[in-house]
Every structure is written in structure tokens, then in C-alpha cells.
Amino acid sequence: MNMVSKRWYSIITVLLSVVFGLFFGNFLVQGRTLFRAKDSDAVAISDLRAELAVEKAKYEQLANRQQELEARKRTLLQVDSHDPSSERLYAAWKEYALLSGLTDVSGTGIRLTLDDKLNYNPVSDPIESVVHDTTVIYAMNLLWAAGARAMTLNGTRMTAVSNISCVGPTILSYDVRLMPPYEIEAIGPADSMKKAVESDSWFARLRQKEIGVRITLSEEAMMTLPSFSKTHDFRSYMDLLIPVDES
């Protein structure tokens, strides 16, 4: 091998070494980043599991409390067949309980489900591709206007003190964190409510491909919505109210 060939050989060797070094270094950086991402995901999953455990404990506590209240209610509402005033009192209680959402109700209605765009990308997709509290509230107001008589959101009965707000990627309702899909069940004139959703311009926009919110709608010949008291307690929402004696 002559002198020129040796020189080119050395140069090529050095260049290959540099390229290999850069490639290997980049591989290590990417590997380190990947491991960090996995560690971050593991921490996030652990935090979510802990939060889920807390929510389950709250639910069990509320369920036990609800059973106690239901038993107490049955005891207090024992009607004396020989006392007409007790019957009138019980009839009045049933009417007010129905108005306030404290009784199970059944009837015909619709089930409306709202879900985020499939494979939502926060960089390239519009913000409307995620279902926000404003979207849920809009849908519920649309159904109320179309004649809904009773409604639930992910199984929780809506009442006169309904509380729906956005907390990061989730929705908070009565201090309960909800995740998509959001299912709204409404008892009322099914034809009217279905037509209101299908003909609404905002829902038509949400269905467009570039936004991609997933919307499903079905009519139900008979559905039962639970009482608000089965999962929640009104008293925390009444703490600032002073009843007025009208006697």
C-alpha cells in the first residue's frame, strides 16, 4: 500500500469512527430519554392508581352512607293507615322528592355519548377535538330545551344544584372526577330530543373529520335513572341557605 492509499485509509477510518461515535452517542441519548419517559409514565400510572383507590374508598363510604339513609327513610316514612294526615304527608314527600331528583324515575328517552377524537394529538388537532365541560353543558341544555324531564351524567343524577367544571383533561361533577366517554341519559320525548341533537349546527361541526368528536345517539324504549341520594348528599350544597318560615 503506497503512501497516498495509507493516508486515505486513515482518513476514512477516522471518519467512520466519528460517524460511529455520533450514532452510538445519539443511540444512548435516545435510550436515556426513552427510559426517562417510561419512568415518568410509571410514576403517572402509580399516581393515577393511588387516586383511583381514594375515589373507590370515597364511593364505598358514600354507598354505605346511602344504605343507612335509605333504611332510615323507610323507617320514617312508615304510613299509618289509620292516620289520614300521615298519608297526606307521605304524598307531599313523594311529590317534592320527585321534583328534587331524590327518587328513581323511569320512562322513554335517549342515550347520548360524547368521546374525544380517536388518537387525539394536541399539536395538530384543534382544541374542540377534546370534550370539555362546555360541550357537556351545551348538550345537556339542548336536551332540557327539547323537553327532557330527568337526566344523568355518567350515572349521576342531575339536579337544580348540578355542578360541572373542567379540571385538566377531566370533568368534575359534584366533586367526582369523570373521564371520557361522557354518557348522558335523558328521560323525555325521545323524538324531540334526538331531532334536536341531529339537527344542531354545533354537533354537526364536532362531527367533522378535522375535529372528530365521537358522538353516538340511541333511543331507549324504557330506561331508569337513579335517585341523586343514592350517590350524593344534598346537605353540603345547602350550608349557606336559611329556610324562611311562611307560617
Residues listed for the chain: 247
Please, where are the H alpha helices in the chain? 3-76, 84-100, 133-145, 190-198, 201-207
Measure the CA dihedral 95/239/139/54, to 10°: -110
Q: For 193-209, what is each residue's pLDDT tens digit?
A: 999 999 999 999 999 99
Choose among 139, 149, 143, 145: nearest CA to 115.
139
Answer yes or no: are the C-beta atoms of 106 and 227 closer than 8 Å: no
Q: What is the pLDDT of residue 49?
A: 78
Q: Look up residue 221 and give its amino acid.
A: A
Give me the residues of the chain with pLDDT under 50, please.
4
Q: What is the pLDDT of residue 65?
A: 76
Cell output for 202? 354545533
CA distances from 43 to 26, 47, 55, 177 (A): 26, 6, 18, 20
Cα angle 167, 152, 125; round to 5? 40
Q: Look up residue 180 and give its amino acid.
A: P
Three-state DSSP class for 43? helix
Q: For 24-35, what is each residue's pLDDT tens digit?
A: 566 556 656 655
Q: What is the pLDDT of residue 41?
A: 63
